[in-house]
Structure 1
Amino acid sequence: MTAPALVALAHGSRDPRSAATIKALVDEVKAMRPDLKVEPAFLELSRPSFQTVVDRLVKAGHEEIVVVPLLLTQAYHAKVDVPGAIAEASARHEGVKFHATSILGLEAQFLEVLDVRMREALKASRVRELDALVLAAAGSSDPLANQAVARLARVWGTRHKLPVTAAFASAAPPAAGEAVRAFRAEGRRHVAVASLFLAPGFLPDRAAELALEAGAVAVSEPLGAHPELARTILARYAVGAVELVPV
């Protein structure tokens, strides 16, 4: 029996670096499970689109598809866009079984990836001292999504015994620059900013720009293609594949 296909579904961006990063992450997944059919897809702005990938998989004979949303927070895209895309695909392909897994989310192990990216940024900026951290995320009109980022920031701060503030690139205060300025107003001069984004694009670029203007000593790159994220995608897939098995 053929295992269900895995579609890693990202939001998409006009920035080509975003799609390239998502595809590199999917390559990590493929390297870990070469036996699976694994495809990247995007809700909008990037190619290939979700519907195009589904059409291709169905044409190739796949009758079961597990969709892993590459989203960090349970906000609008997860609650509306992903279910809508799957409903459209289901309507177009009767008889094909689809299952959307939980989003990637904000797993504690992602702090390991944050630390890797932060060490890279500190090394590049020749920074050896820190007295505060900012965790910059996309931001959402959904307060629960923002609270999840704030909780992760507190865990990260405890891990490094440093004060940490969550900041947002859209929809909610404070912006990354505001968070940096607030720490500097307290007399903290060595403030670094971590980019809690999956891939490069307008929002992480804007957050980095504002942070550096405000005096941040370093800004890390987004999480990007990392084995820890690939393992989480496969863990979500494993649960989703089981959900497709008839009881």
Structure 2
Amino acid sequence: MTPPPLVLLAHGSRDPRHAATVQALRAGVAGRRPGLRAEVAFLDFNAPRVSAALGALAASGEREAVVLPLLLTRAFHAKTDVPAALRAAAARLPRLTIRTAGVLGPSPLLRAALERRLTEAGVHDRASTAVVLAAAGSSDPEATAEVERLAREWQRAGGWWAVRPAYASARGPRPAEAVTALRTAGAPRVAVAPFALAPGRLPARIAAGSAEADTVADVLGAAPELAELVLRRYDEAVVAGRRLKGQARQKPSLAGV
């Protein structure tokens, strides 16, 4: 059975590195799963938009697709923008079954990717390093709670001097405030770990607010852990889709009743 194609749906950004990073992640996913058709799409700023990407799949003869939102938490985009865009696409493409995979977080693989980026940035002594987990920020309490839970779990399991969340927008503290607070608390070294998928406006804010940190890691980008996580979410969506198909076949027909 040919696997349904995967569409990696990113937010999009005017920063050209954003789309390039998403394409690099797509290449990493495709390299791990030969035979899987993997495409990219964007909600805004970049092409192709998700409706165009899905339309191209339908035009090529595909009858099913899995759309995976490249989002780290279930915030506004996951709950509002993505469903709206996919509803509109489904209305225009009635012969294409569109399945939505879960967002990336939460997952231990995200923590592993964060640690990879810190190591690449030269952070090795965890016991003397405090980490600022710098997220984009959201007014959605579920998304904020997820970032705070990740910070707590990472500190407990990672052996860091401390791990503190910070946000580039919406609520505080800002990254600069978190760096200052950790310095005041006596942290020997402070590193900032951007909890962001690709370069863009909010990751740029994180970088600008991290000037007083000893180290600023790169965004998660095309880390191998991200490619593995994408495939896990894809597989989960495929299994759920098969289960739904099986349930539909098992329902008794009401014809003639």
- Mark yes or no: TM-score above 0.5: yes
- What residue number does 2:118 align with? 118
**8 Å Cα contact 1:4/1:66 also seen in 2:** yes
- What residue number does 1:231 align with? 228
> Which amino acid is the alignment partner of residue 188 of structure 1?
A
- Kindly name which structure, 1 or 2, has the bigger radius of gyration based on alpha carbons: 2
Moved over 4 A (4+): 126-129
- What residue number does 1:200 align with? 199
Q: 1: CA distance between counterparts of 2:59 and 2:7?
A: 15
> Deviation digits for residues 185-242 of structure 1, max 9, x if unmatched?
2233421111110111121121111121xx2101100011022111111111112122
Q: 1: CA distance between counterparts of 2:6 and 2:79?
A: 20
- What residue number does 2:255 align with? none
Q: What SS does structure 1 have at the residue aligned with 2:122?
A: helix
Q: What SS does structure 1 have at the residue aligned with 2:121?
A: helix
**8 Å Cα contact 1:129/1:190 also seen in 2:** no
Identity among equivalent pairs (%): 46
Correspondence 1:175-186 to 2 at 5 A: 175-186=174-185
- What residue number does 1:172 align with? 171
Correspondence 1:83-94 to 2 at 5 A: 83-94=83-94
Distance 1:64 1:128, change over 3 A: closer
Structure 1 residue 34 corresponds to structure 2 residue 31 = no
**8 Å Cα contact 2:127/2:160 also seen in 1:** no
Structure 1 residue 163 corresponds to structure 2 residue 162 = yes
Q: What SS does structure 2 have at the residue aligned with 1:166?
A: strand
Structure 1 residue 137 corresponds to structure 2 residue 135 = yes
> Which amino acid is the alignment partner of residue 132 of structure 1?
A
Distance 1:20 1:216, change over 3 A: same
Q: CA deviation at 1:127?
A: 8.9
> Which amino acid is the alignment partner of residue 103 of structure 1?
V
Q: 1: CA distance between counterparts of 2:22 and 2:160?
A: 32
**8 Å Cα contact 1:25/1:225 also seen in 2:** yes
- The CA RMSD over aligned residues, in Å, is 1.7
Q: 2: CA distance between counterparts of 1:83 and 1:120?
A: 36
**8 Å Cα contact 1:4/1:65 also seen in 2:** yes
Q: CA deviation at 1:4?
A: 1.1
TM-score (norm 1): 0.93
The alignment covers a number of residue pairs equal to: 243
Q: 1: CA distance between counterparts of 2:57 and 2:241?
A: 17
Q: 2: CA distance between counterparts of 1:110 and 1:128?
A: 18
> Which amino acid is the alignment partner of residue 132 of structure 2?
V
Unmatched segments (≥5 aa) in structure 1: none
> Which amino acid is the alignment partner of residue 201 of structure 1?
G
Q: CA deviation at 1:174?
A: 0.4
- What residue number does 1:222 align with? 219
**8 Å Cα contact 1:12/1:43 also seen in 2:** yes
**8 Å Cα contact 2:147/2:165 also seen in 1:** yes
Q: 1: CA distance between counterparts of 2:69 and 2:126?
A: 37
Q: 2: CA distance between counterparts of 1:228 and 1:183?
A: 28
Correspondence 1:38-77 to 2 at 5 A: 38-77=38-77
TM-score (norm 2): 0.90
Q: CA deviation at 1:145?
A: 0.5
- What residue number does 2:17 align with? 17
